[in-house]
Structure formats: structure tokens, C-alpha cells
A and B are shown apart, each in its own frame.
Chain A
Amino acid sequence: QQQVKQSPQSLIVQKGGISIINCAYENTAFDYFPWYQQFPGKGPALLIAIRPDVSEKKEGRFTISFNKSAKQFSLHIMDSQPGDSATYFCAASGRTSGSRLTFGEGTQLTVNP
């Protein structure tokens, strides 16, 4: 019940295209859903996060869509750029499930120029 499932495992997008990464969770106690961006040899860096009281959050080219009834959330990267090429992880945590972040399996995004 603690798992977070992420898809796809890898994604190739042309420059200027939209990248979409999906995650699903089971634990209804989760109430914080961040997305992390990780470059090779670096730690995960927080990109954007959402709480379940809103269905969408946008920051620049990055948007999280959240569907509480389906227990799914997704990251949309608009106007994808080669510099966005990285591994993206969704994660979840909840007050009643402790302080740990449970990560998805990761998506390797490649944006071709």
C-alpha cells in the first residue's frame, strides 16, 4: 500500500513537445505529492509539489495534474527542452504514514534537439 507506481520508464520527446509522466498510488493517507528532477551524479531536486486539495498546479513550464478519486497524478512539461533531459521521480508522503517519501521508479526523459 506504500507503493507509488510510475510510467513510462523512459520517454523520448522532440524539442518543443509535451512530456507527460504518470504516477498512481494506493495509500489514501498520502497528502503531499512532489516531483523531483535528477541529473546524473546529483541528488534529486524538488521541481514542483501538490497537495490533494487542488487538482492542478502550474509553475512555469511544469504542471502537476491531480486526480484524487483515481489516486493518480501526472507531470506535464510544456515546450520540452534538451536541458530537461533527466530522470524524473514522483513521490508521496503523508502525515499519518510518517515522514518518509515514497518514490516512484523513475522516468528517464530524453528531449531531442
Chain B
Amino acid sequence: EPEVTQTPSHQVTQMGQEVILRCVPISNHLYFYWYRQILGQKVEFLVSFYNNEISEKSEIFDDQFSVERPDGSNFTLKIRSTKLEDSAMYFCASSVGAGYGYTFGSGTRLTVV
């Protein structure tokens, strides 16, 4: 079964540093997403990406965040200057259609110290 692949599985970074989280979505999917889950809490939407541009973003996705699809396969989330409260599990997802048929990756656990 096709998978969404995320790397790294765990990243520890110093506060104020930039991090890039990487994802390889399912190849025939057209919509790409980033979600985050703070430990023990619900999954929260960050951003959706379609046709090489952001289609929707949440209030969490401020100027510190950016997304990019640098080539035909990768989808990245960059956090410019990490804060302690950015510590969370970050999930990449992709879907065939807008808002349905999602497949999530296994996540990147980001720890900001």
C-alpha cells in the first residue's frame, strides 16, 4: 500500500534554530498538508498546498513557517526560528481530492530545547 514518508522521525533543535521537516507524499496525490499534534492533544491543521501554492493555512501557520515543493516528489515544512512551543509531532499528509481520502505519514517528533 502506498505510504507517505517523513524524515527525520525525531529531531532535536536549539531554540532559535531553523528546522526543515521533509515528506514524500503519495505520487498520484494532488493535495499536500502539514498537521501538528502537541503531546496528548488533538491533531491541528497547519497548511494545505495544491498546484504549487498554499491553498489554506491556519492561524498557527505564521510568518515563521513556510512550505515548499522543491521538486516533483518532496514536500517540506520549514520553521525559521524555533520556539519551545513548537515542540510537537508534525504530520505530513496527502490526498487525491480536497479534504478527503487523506493518508498521513508517521510523523516527525520535533523537540525544541
Q: Chain B contacts of A101 at CB under 8 A?
A: 35, 43, 45, 99, 102
Query: Is A95 in contact with B103, judged by CB distance below 8 angstroms?
Result: no
A100 touches B (CB below 8 Å): yes
Query: Is A43 in contact with B91, judged by CB distance below 8 angstroms?
Result: yes
Q: Chain B contacts of A106 at CB under 8 A?
A: 41-42
B33 touches A (CB below 8 Å): yes
The stretch among B14-22, B48-56, B77-85 that forms the contact with chain A is: B48-56
- How big is chain B's contact interface, by range? 20 to 34
Query: Is A45 in contact with B99, judged by CB distance below 8 angstroms?
Result: no
Chain A, range 84-108, C-beta contacts under 8 Å to B: 89, 91, 93-95, 97-106
Q: Chain B contacts of A42 at CB under 8 A?
A: 106-107
The B contact surface, by secondary structure, is strand
Query: Is B104 in contact with A99, judged by CB distance below 8 angstroms?
Result: no
- How big is chain A's contact interface, by range? 20 to 34
Query: Is B50 in contact with A100, judged by CB distance below 8 angstroms?
Result: no
Name the residue among B42, B93, B101 with the largest chain A CB count within 10 angstroms. Answer: B42
Query: Is A43 in contact with B107, judged by CB distance below 8 angstroms?
Result: yes
Chain B, range 53-109, C-beta contacts under 8 Å to A: 55-56, 58, 91, 93, 95, 98-107
State the B residues within 8 Å of A (CB): 4, 31, 33, 35, 41-45, 48, 50, 55-56, 58, 91, 93, 95, 98-107
6 smallest CB-CB distances across A and B, nearest first, come from A93-B99, A43-B104, A99-B98, A100-B45, A99-B99, A98-B56
State the A residues within 8 Å of B (CB): 32, 34, 36, 41-46, 49, 89, 91, 93-95, 97-106
